[in-house]
Homo-oligomer: A and B are copies of this chain.
C-alpha cells in the first residue's frame, strides 16, 4: 500500500512550480486539480526528473509536450526555439532543478529535510512514467497561455 501523502509534502512543489514559471519564464500558471496517479497518464514528449532523498524520498518530474516546452524555455532564454534542441533540453532540466530546489527551501523552513539529486531530461515519443507500488504519486496539472503541463511528485515519507 502506498504511504499517505500530506499537503505539506505536495504544496511546496506546487508553490515552487508557480514561482519558477513566473520569475524565470514570465508565465503565469493556473493550478488544475491535483490527483493521485493511478494509470499511465500524463503522456508527454520531454520530461525533467530529479531524485529526492531525506525525510521524503522519491522524485519530482516535470512533463511537457513539445510546443509548451519550446515556448516556456524560449521565454526563459529570451530567444525563440521552435524545435527541441540542446537549449530546450537544458532548460527543462533547469526547470526540474529549480522546482525541486524551491520545494526543498520551503520544506526546510518547516524543518523537513530534503536532499535533491541532479536532473535527468528524457526525450522521446509518448513518454509515460511509473513509480514503485508503495510510493504515492500525485499529478498536478497546470495551464498557461502556452498550453498545459504537469508535474508528478512521487514520495515515500518516513
Contacts and interface: CB of A to CB of B under 8 A. Distances in A.
Contacts of A61: 120
The majority secondary structure among interface residues of chain A is strand
Interface in A105-158: 115-133, 135, 154, 156
Interface residues of A, number: 39
Contacts of A57: 117-118
A51 B47 contact: no
6 contacts: A51-B59, A51-B117, A51-B118, A118-B154, A120-B129, A122-B122
A93 B131 contact: yes
Nearest to A123: B128
A27 interface: no
